[in-house]
Structure 1
Amino acid sequence: MGEYRHTGGHHVHAKKAFEGHINYDPKKGFSISNELMAKIGVQHKVVTIAQQKLFRELGKSGKPNTMKEHTRIAVEVLIKGGATKEKARSLVATSLNDLRNKGVRVPTDIPWFKTK
């Protein structure tokens, strides 16, 4: 776990959601390595597919694009990928604290959803 530039792997909160934010650097975004994902039984491909689906659903729903929604999605996709509920919540809490500490409090976009 740590900054993407050191771990590679998966950004727990989708990096695409914060592109263009003045305080966000995807290389410094909180991530979990492919090795850690394998160790806790999380399949990266399943997580990514679930992210795409849930973000498209968020976009189509008309709900506000909030950090609360992004955090909910981050937990759900880790669980869908194979993490326990407790592990998913713990990883997402760490990611959320990291974003807050860096001054990132709102998403800039809904990933994988483009308006017409």
Structure 2
Amino acid sequence: MGEYRHTGGHHVHAKKAFEGHINYDPKKGFSISNEYMKSLGIDHLKVTSTQRRLFGELAKSGKPNTLKEHTRIAVESLVSGGEGKLTYNQARNIVSKSLKSLKAANVKTPTTIPWNS
């Protein structure tokens, strides 16, 4: 886990959500490597598919586009991709590290709802 430029893999908070944000650099975005996901039994494709579905639901709901909603989606997506192998608490722990990284970069709000602009 760490900055995307070192780990590759999956941005825990969807990088598309922060495109154009003055303080966001996707290369520094918090990510988990494909190898680490595999070791935890996380299916990267399923995580991304769940993210797309949940962001679509957020867009249709009319709820505000907040970092809180994006954090919820990140947790639910990891749990879904873990297919019973990753607990909710494990996912929350990973996502909290991503959230700390965003806050340290002074990224407090998303710029868009990914795949729904």
Q: What is the letter of the counterpart of residue 57 of structure 2?
A: E
CA distance in 2, matches of 1:86, 1:41: 15
Of 75, 94, 98 in structure 2, the residue corresponding to residue 95 of structure 1 is 98
Deviating above 6 A after TM superposition, structure 1's stretches of 4 or more consecutive aligned residues are: none
TM-superposed CA distance for 1:5, in Å, is 0.6
* 2:46 counterpart of 1:43: no
Higher deviation after alignment, 80-89 or 60-69: 80-89
Q: What is the letter of the counterpart of residue 27 of structure 1?
A: K
Secondary structure at 2:31 match in 1 = strand
CA distance in 1, matches of 2:76, 2:108: 20
* 2:87 counterpart of 1:84: yes
TM-superposed CA distance for 1:30, in Å, is 0.3
Q: How many residues are treated as equivalent by the alignment?
A: 114
Q: 1:45-92: per-residue Cα shift (whole Å, max 9, x none)? A: 000000000001000000000000000000000000012111100000
CA distance in 2, matches of 1:22, 1:110: 17
Alignment of 1:1-116 (within 5 A): 1-82=1-82, 83-114=86-117
Secondary structure at 1:37 match in 2 = helix
Q: What is the letter of the counterpart of residue 54 of structure 1?
A: L
Q: Which runs of 5+ in 2 are unaligned?
A: none
Alpha-carbon RMSD across the aligned residues, in angstroms, is 0.5
Q: Percent identity?
A: 68
CA distance in 1, matches of 2:58, 2:15: 16
